[in-house]
Copies of this chain bind each other. A is one copy, B any other.
Amino acid sequence: MGIAERKERERADMRRRIVDAAIKMFVEEGYEKVSIRNLADKIEYSPATIYLYYKDKDELLYDVQKEAFAMLAEHFARNLTAADPLERLEQLAWAYIGFYRQNPELYDLMFIIKAPMNAEGEEEKWKNGDSAYDALYHLVAECVEKKVIRFKDPTVAAMSIWAFAHGLISLDLRSRLKVCKLPEKTLNVSIDDSIKAYLDVVRC
């Protein structure tokens, strides 16, 4: 009777193996190289086998995205140490951009690439981003309540702050900041300066 349980365990193990290989490929070789065939090669199975464990590539990427968000959550936990909410908000901002700089390909999957959002049938939810957004929301809500930032509504504040950071990052990731005509060397500096300036503007 332990057989059904073992089968289930083996199934979970295989899904783990697939997702782990995919994460590794994302980080080491980039999104473009993560094809079903390359992935199958990496885990030494045939491409068709992957479809016994995932209904399509979108569903697989949804799981990879989930893993990436778990990494972000851990990163936040390590870096959000201050007691003061405003200080913690600054730590959140730097942790966020720090995560992007360490894992640009994963950032892409989490916030830009369309594929993983096609999983989860019919606009139900998108649970993967919940933990990260909740962390932001509750922190921002505390800042609004204690009147340390110039926003009135916590939902609007959270959306705005997130949008600003994501906007900067995604323009950088897609080479659109070239237009600002800054020497390549000083571009990262300018991004950091923009974040500092934003925090100054937002602060009460």
Contacts and interface: CB of A to CB of B under 8 A. Distances in A.
Interface of A: 111-114, 117, 123, 125-126, 129-130, 133, 150-153, 155-160, 162-168, 170-171, 174-180, 182, 184, 190-191, 193-194, 197-198, 200-202
B180 A171 contact: no
A7 to B, nearest CB: 34
Looking at A167, A178, A198, the one whose CB has the most chain B CB atoms below 10 A away is A167
A112 B170 contact: yes
Chain A contact residues, majority secondary structure = helix
A27 to B, nearest CB: 18
A40 B96 CA distance: 44
A150 B112 contact: no
A194 B159 CA distance: 7
16 contacts: A113-B174, A114-B174, A114-B175, A117-B176, A123-B178, A133-B179, A150-B201, A151-B197, A152-B197, A153-B193, A160-B201, A162-B167, A164-B164, A166-B170, A167-B168, A167-B170
